[in-house]
Structure 1
Amino acid sequence: MDDVSYERVQVPTANPFVLTDYGQTHTTTPMAAEFYTPATLPPPYPAVVVSEGLGGVKNARERRYGRFLAQHGYAALVVDSFKTRGFENAAHPIRAINVTESMMLADAFAGLRWLAERPDIDAGRISNIGFSYGGMICVLTAYEQLRRLFVPTHDKFAAHVSYYGPTVPRLEDYATTGAPVAILNGELDNNFHPKRLDMIAQDLKNGGSEVENIVFPDTYHQWDSDDVVRRFDRFNIRDLGTWIDPEQTIIDEKSGRKITNFATRLMMIAGSVSLKGFHLLRDEAVMRKTDEILLRTIAAGGAQDSGTLDPPARCA
């Protein structure tokens, strides 16, 4: 890894259980993160905030993309939302109940603010990518309503690339920041709802973003994993859906109940999660395609503001 510099960092973040909690206290939480930069290129660098999947930060996934991005001229901040809150060793359902989308949104935007303040980063070319649970977060960070909630400045993500994210939240106010969004899924992935995916993609388009909504044929969930043999995960959130109103209230679409605390979140998840499960399988051919889409999308993101259409140079 001589062409990549790496360090563990702590970034100030917030800990809102739901969106309406944000800003109610000025207490900050130190967020655990890993920071990758090109070792052989001079700054300033374009950058990427990497939002982890429910499986946590993995060598084969989040850390792989951190190195990959740095090798292609980007700084990469890999966020560890579960370690930050003491759930890095918890089972997936325990993580999902306790570490909420609002917390992970706070972490992604905290990463944006931290990077934008650094002199070695091109503040106009910071993108967000995410995997599974983090892929859902990556789509949400494209909405102006949520950017405005978490970011007091005009900073925004320049591009968004979502890998196999579940199709849970939709926003009543679907105006976006205008940044391009690439949403990548597998045809054989039963953890997202295809019709709801199309509605979310249309929301983003109607809100002002260019959207690539790509479903790869004969492809399972997490095609960039280390699962060389097909693996079954029994928890399925295909039918889980929430609605976010302009006042930042989160509503369970199935029951109409407002999600305000741990108890209402637990009831929402228990009422929609099934044991039908989904399969995961690595597919290197698809991975090569999504690597190309990733680099193309984040190179285009922010290019107009920075005055260049060229991607950063690759490390030698």
Structure 2
Amino acid sequence: MPFRLRASIFALAAVAPFAALASPTVPERWPDAPPAMAGQAVTVPSSSPFVPRDLGGPQVPDAQAQVTWFPPAGATPGRKAPAVVLLHGSGGVLDARELTYGRQLAAMGIGAAVVDVFAARRDLATSFVDRIIEITETMAIADAYATLAWLKARPEIDADRVALWGFSYGAMSSIFAANAGIADRAAGRFGLGPTRFAGHVAFYGPCITTFDDERTTGAPVLMAWGDGDELMNPVRCNALADELRAGGSAVRTVVYPGAYHQWDGNWAGPRRIGRLLDGCGFRVDNDLVVRTDGIGVPMTNPFTRKLMLALCVGSEGYLMGRDDAVRERSNQEVGNFLNSVFARPRG
């Protein structure tokens, strides 16, 4: 998406009250997204690891992460701003979701980097099904940490106050990225030293993967889903939250009554799409290899991934539908979470 300098200057001027905040605070009611704030197209050096074990591996192909950057209003090298990296779902980047959140965050003085994992890998897949097979959650993790490294180099951004926010497919990556073993390997690949994400948000991310090594980076986690979302298994999600707590992270889970999948998306709905994942269960072992629960078959390439999913994905779909009232509540929840994360002492 091209960067329109005049439009961006106009949009930043329109949100001058937020620019006066030295340490941005997310208000209870979020500002309207300035429609003229288009964002800046940025290319960030990344890679395409298929599974966590491949992060930083010598044979992993390079990639160019595609990022839409929304600069934080009022930030300067003398008054550094926090930031949020956003990871889309299996349907890709949505204007109503990632791009709107990006504009809103920037208006509040928080930098927002919207990562398009699929756009960086059009040579691998373009159709919906093929993207799910060929472009993995680990590739999204690589792009997220590559973007964190890019943010760390920006003089107006405080790299110790960068959160990762994922949606559905991206929410699974956000949880993966909180695992200490995965984070260490990704940080090493992109030269981040001790820098890690300060917090992790997961909106309606299927809880189908757990970890042999439960250690986390210690960053807090927010998990949110609707009780009308048939893609979410509350028993599994609460068990995953407990696992993250055991690993060292404070975890808050929020369930919105009556909310369907993607309450902050484009479709008014509800409409039934996709396939259920109730039969799927994966585990990341101590060597960062993804295996099926029980028989332990490893996921090593697109063929084994396709086979593993074919054996566990159900024939029924799940309901998706936008709900602006739920979105307003989830905005407040994310705002409270970010305020807490950004206020935490550094180091």
Paired residue for 2:122? 86
Deviations 1:261-308 (A, max 9, x none): 12111111101111211001111111011111111112211422349x
User: 195-204 vs 292-301, which deviates more?
Assistant: 292-301
Distance in 1 separating the partners of 2:106 and 2:333? 16
C-alpha contact 2:125 2:134 (8 A) present in aligned 1: no
Normalising by structure 2, we get a TM-score of 0.84
Q: Is the 8 A contact 2:73 2:108 kept in 1?
A: no
Count residues in correspondence.
307
Deviations, residues 149-173 of structure 1 (Å, cap 9, x unaligned): 1002101111111110111211111
Q: Which residue of 1 aligns with 2:288?
A: 248
Pick one of 36, 41, 58 that aligns with 2:70.
Answer: 36
Partner residue of 1:310?
A: none
Q: Which residue type is aligned with residue 91 of structure 1?
A: S
Could you list the runs of 5+ residues in structure 2 that have no partner in the other structure? 1-7, 13-36
Q: CA deviation at 1:100?
A: 0.7
Aligned residue type for 1:30: Q
Task: Provide the aligned C-alpha RMSD in A.
Answer: 1.8
Q: Does 1:285 align with 2:325?
A: yes
From 168, 175, 191, the equivalent of 1:132 is: 168
Which has the higher mean CA deviation after the structures are superposed, 295-304 or 93-102? Answer: 295-304
Counterpart residue number, 2:29 = none
Instruction: Supply the distance in 1 between the matched residues of 2:250 and 2:335 (Cα, whole angstroms).
Output: 16
Trace 1:58-207 onto structure 2 (pairs within 5 A).
58-86=94-122, 90-152=126-188, 153-207=193-247
CA contact (8 A) 1:160 1:298 kept: no
Cα pair distance change 1:271/1:87, threshold 3 Å: farther
Are the counterparts in 2 of residues 5 and 38 from structure 1 also a CA contact under 8 Å?
no
The equivalent of 2:24 in structure 1 is none
Amino acid in structure 2 at the alignment position of 1:49: V
How far, CA to CA, are the matches of 2:123 and 2:269 in structure 1? 27
User: 1:91-123 CA deviation, whole Å, 9 max, x = no partner?
Assistant: 322211010111111111111111112211101
- State the structure with more CA Rg: 2
What is the deviation of 1:221? 0.4
Moved more, 20-29 or 136-145: 20-29
Q: CA deviation at 1:133?
A: 0.3
The SS at the match of 2:344 is: helix
Identity, % of aligned positions = 35
Unaligned runs of 5+ in 1: 308-316
8 Å Cα contact 2:283/2:291 also seen in 1: yes
Residue 259 of structure 2, aligned match among 210, 216, 219: 219
Counterpart contact for 1:219–1:283, Cα < 8 Å: yes
Q: Is the 8 A contact 1:85 1:99 kept in 2?
A: yes
CA distance in 2, matches of 1:88, 1:281: 30
Aligned to 1:38, what secondary structure does the other structure show?
Answer: coil
Are the equivalent residues in 2 in contact too, given 1:252–1:258 (CA < 8 A)?
yes
Taking the aligned partners of 1:284 and 1:191, their CA distance within structure 2 comes to 20
Letter matched to residue 103 of structure 2:
R
